[in-house]
Chain A
């Protein structure tokens, strides 16, 4: 007990000395699975998610840091909304997309107290952009090879960052035909992420190949998915 108190005191002193505000304590994969089990959803959906979520947690497509507050926020919603959101998450996981940004987008919408149709509409547009980005990058041979044991995969990261950059332009009402502006914003963002979120070897070929036509193709496909 004395050792514990001494350790606690030391931690408090260290925290005060560093002056840093600690973020929420780290959640574990078990916390995610426990929360998922407790949600009032259909047994079929629960079973599908429990089959997909553990591997997503293991490969970095889903992180406990995001999933726990997401599932906690979901638990306050009506069952239909919970299932609608989790169905979208399941689809994204099945397609091996990094889902953290999708969940964070929903949490942001809820934090801003937006209506459910607005939150869901935004999530669906973001998901459509992820799919369109992957399709176009694949078609142009711009997806990096995925070395075994790398998680999340470099291509999943690249798709996520590119889709989000285009989405951030389109979300507030930017026109998909304004290709030069979108391309410039996307390029600036990729350059800034080079060396931090994106490894130079992964992002450099995309930066070299980036063009207004490429981003317009992605935006067009996301807004008109029947063109796939």
Chain B
């Protein structure tokens, strides 16, 4: 009995609350649809950026552009982080390349008339035994030799010719129109 009375009381209370809230529920559906429509009409940040930079671009072109941008970024980052051997031709464009291959050497320098026979150090930053220096020499004929750990190396395979004085060989390069770089 007690339980039945309680059920009735709950039903009555709920119907009173519904009746009381009925004015607020009037037109609820229309209000929800209207609110959703307003939210959809406001463009997102991406939509706003797209409108700003790519007005009128179709999604297909936007996708293609995105792929191209990603490839370009990947290429640039790859070039920056991947060590790659520098081709000799690019050295030649930058100046006159002097190179010695000697993995066991501790110090390598080039001496020549361009430096008044004072040593100009070659470097091997990656430790692969290829020592190089690129010098900016004006066109002309240059006599030189390498000094590897104090030893005079007068015959460079890259030389245009060799001369011999004071009992030792020296290499010669012609820089400019007359010979190779």
Check if A193 sits within 8 Å of B178, measured CB to CB: yes
Number of CB contacts from chain A to chain B under 8 A: 95
Give the residue name and chain of the A residue nearest to B98 (CB).
A21
When C-beta atoms are compared, the residue in chain A nearest to B175 turns out to be A196
Question: In the complex, how many angstroms separate the beta carbon of B152 from the nearest chain A beta carbon?
Answer: 7
Flag the segment in A64-72, A88-96, A132-140 that touches B.
Answer: A64-72
B96 to nearest A CB, angstroms?
9
Bound: A119/B91 CA distance, A: 36
- Interface range on chain A: under 10, 10 to 19, 20 to 34, or 35 or more? 35 or more
Choose among A21, A104, A172 the residue that contacts B116 (Cβ–Cβ < 8 A).
Answer: A104
Shortest distance between the CB of B151 and any CB in chain A (Å): 12
Instruction: Assess whether A197 is in contact with B141, with CB atoms less than 8 Å apart.
Output: yes
CA distance A18 to B167 in the complex (A): 37
Q: Which residues of A contact B116 (CB under 8 A)?
A: 24, 65-66, 68-70, 104, 107
Name the distance in Å between B172's Cβ and chain A's nearest Cβ: 9
Within 8 Å of chain A (Cβ to Cβ): is B113? Answer: yes
Of B13-21, B57-65, B158-166, which binds chain A? B158-166
Is A111 engaged at the interface, CB distance under 8 Å to the other chain?
yes
Interface: A177 (CB within 8 A): no
Instruction: Decide yes or no: A195 and B117 within 8 Å by CB, A20-B135, A171-B165 being known contacts.
Output: no
CB distance from B142 to the nearest CB of A (A): 10
Q: Contacts A193-B178, A196-B139, A197-B140 given; indicate if A19 touches B94 (C-beta within 8 A).
A: yes
B136 at the interface (CB under 8 A from A): yes
Most A C-beta atoms less than 10 A away, residue of B113, B117, B140, B164: B117
Assess the B135–A24 pair: CB atoms within 8 A. Answer: no
Q: How far is the CB of B71 from chain A (nearest CB, A)?
A: 26
* B117 and A111 form a contact (CB under 8 A): yes
B:46-89 near A, CB below 8 Å: none
Assuming A112-B166, A122-B165, is B174 touching A192 (CB within 8 A)?
A: yes
Taken together as a complex, chains A and B put the C-alpha atoms of A65 and B176 apart, in Å, by: 21
Distance between Cα atoms of A191 and B122 in the complex (Å): 31
Are A192 and B141 in contact (CB-based, < 8 A)? yes
Complex CA gap A119/B67 in Å reads 69
* Contact, CB under 8 Å: A69 / B179: no
Query: Are A122 and B135 closer than 8 Å at their CB atoms?
Result: no
Question: What distance in Å separates the Cβ of B31 from its nearest Cβ neighbour in chain A?
Answer: 63
- Given known pairs A21-B121, A24-B115, A69-B116, the reply for A192 and B179 (CB within 8 Å) is yes
B177 within 8 A of A: yes
**B117 contacts A196, C-beta separation under 8 Å:** no
Q: Does A194 contact B (CB under 8 A)?
A: yes
Asked if B129 is at the interface (CB within 8 A of a chain A CB), the reply is no
Specify the chain B residue showing the minimal Cβ separation from A119.
Answer: B166
**Contact among B111, B121, B135, B167 for A111, CB-based, below 8 A:** B111
Name A residues whose Cβ lies closer than 8 Å to a Cβ of B: 18-21, 23-24, 65-66, 68-70, 101, 104-105, 107-112, 114, 118-119, 122, 168, 171-172, 189, 191-197
A23-B114, A65-B116, A172-B165 given; 8 more Cβ-contact pairs under 8 Å: A21-B121, A66-B116, A69-B117, A107-B117, A112-B166, A171-B163, A196-B175, A196-B178
Top-10 shortest CB links A-B? A172-B164, A196-B139, A192-B178, A69-B116, A196-B176, A21-B133, A107-B117, A111-B117, A171-B165, A195-B177
Enumerate chain B interface residues (CB-CB to A < 8 A): 91, 94-95, 111, 113-118, 120-123, 133-136, 139-141, 143, 152, 160, 163-168, 170, 174-179
